[in-house]
């Protein structure tokens, strides 16, 4: 990890980390909205919500990644596809209950 940050530089590493967090947050928000919309369909309503969330995230996150890379006119490598699929699990976790965890952690850490 330190080799990557040294190669990128501290400023560029911070930029990449912040872009990654923005990407995951936007995908989690979209996943939450889509899952809530899908749960109004009777056949989908019978499925467990977590399963639907994982499926939506597994489709949405790589598709969003491809869209971002196409917009930036950057080539897509095989490891990027794999990383976007792994990021889908993070997106699903955040969209399921990650916001509650973040709020709880913030309440513990920030003294008022």
pLDDT digits (tens, 9 = 90+) for 12-35: 777 777 888 899 989 999 998 898
Domain count, the chain: 1
Using alpha carbons only, what angle is made at residue 5 by residues 21 and 16, rounded to the nearest 5 degrees? Answer: 25
What pLDDT, on a 0 to 100 scale, did the predictor assign at position 61?
A: 94
CB 52 within 8 A of CB 44: yes
pLDDT in tens, 35-80: 889 988 988 888 888 899 999 999 999 999 999 989 988 888 888 8
pTM for this prediction: 0.74
Domain housing 83: 2-109
Q: Picking from 38-42, 83-87, 107-111, which range would have the lowest pLDDT averaged per residue? A: 107-111
């Amino acid at each position: 990890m330190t080799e990557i940050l040294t190669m990128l530089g501290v400023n560029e590493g911070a930029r990449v980390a912040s872009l990654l967090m923005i990407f995951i947050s936007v995908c989690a928000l979209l996943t939450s909205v889509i899952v809530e919309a899908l749960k109004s369909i009777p056949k989908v309503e019978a499925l467990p919500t977590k399963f639907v969330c994982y499926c939506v995230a597994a489709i949405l996150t790589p598709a969003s990644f491809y869209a971002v890379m196409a917009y930036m006119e950057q080539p897509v490598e095989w490891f990027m596809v794999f990383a976007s699929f792994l990021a889908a699990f993070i997106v699903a976790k955040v969209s399921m209950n990650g916001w509650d965890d973040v709020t709880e952690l913030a309440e513990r850490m920030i003294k008022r």
